[in-house]
Amino acid sequence: MKRKIQIIGIIAILLSFWVSALAVDWKVTNQATIAWDAATTLIDGTPVPANNSVKYRVYMANAVTDPNKGNPVLLTQEPISVLEYIITLNIEGKYYVGVSAVRYDDVGFELNESVVNWSDVNGEATPNPFGFVHYIKMGSPKNLR
């Protein structure tokens, strides 16, 4: 019996470390700059052809109402060439952000889009999962005496 309790204790400790490793770091803000590394290879690992170009789309999903990111909001109406984007939050809530790479041929025709790399997915693409929380500021007290 003592042995079983010890094993259960060890498993509980290991699970607590595993759960904390998967935890999302929620950053409270109304504005943040996200950045990413350039996509330089195709999914098979070969380099993007020299006559192709890559741009990026930035998405946002509500962590409470759309936790599976089934209906993300596209923040960049046109794909962007830069490797960072300023996100401004003006609706209270918790949000994940994501970025996809879009491949174009030499005349600017869109060939395809990568899967979205989401900020809360722990892995090589996002080693430190994060999300944003926005709270609308309180109004000031009135009639101070």
Distance (Å, whole) CA 24 – CA 16: 14
CATH of domain 25-134: 2.60.40.10
Mean local confidence (pLDDT), 41-69: 97
Mean local confidence (pLDDT), 80-108: 97
**Could you say which DSSP state residue 143 is in?**
S
Question: Dihedral (C-alpha) 118, 119, 124, 127: value to the nearest 10 degrees?
Answer: -170
pLDDT digits (tens, 9 = 90+) for 22-43: 599 999 999 999 999 999 999 9
Query: Quick one: pLDDT band at residue 124, thresholds 50, 70, 90?
Result: confident
Mean local confidence (pLDDT), 2-9: 57
pLDDT digits (tens, 9 = 90+) for 67-79: 999 999 999 999 9
Q: Is residue 58 pLDDT above 80, yes or no?
A: yes
Count the neighbouring beta carbons within 10 Å of the beta carbon of residue 63. 19
Distance (Å, whole) CA 125 – CA 18: 19
Cα angle 56-61-80, degrees, rounded to a multiple of 5: 15
Tokens 């809530």 label which residue?
93
What's the whole-model pTM score? Answer: 0.79
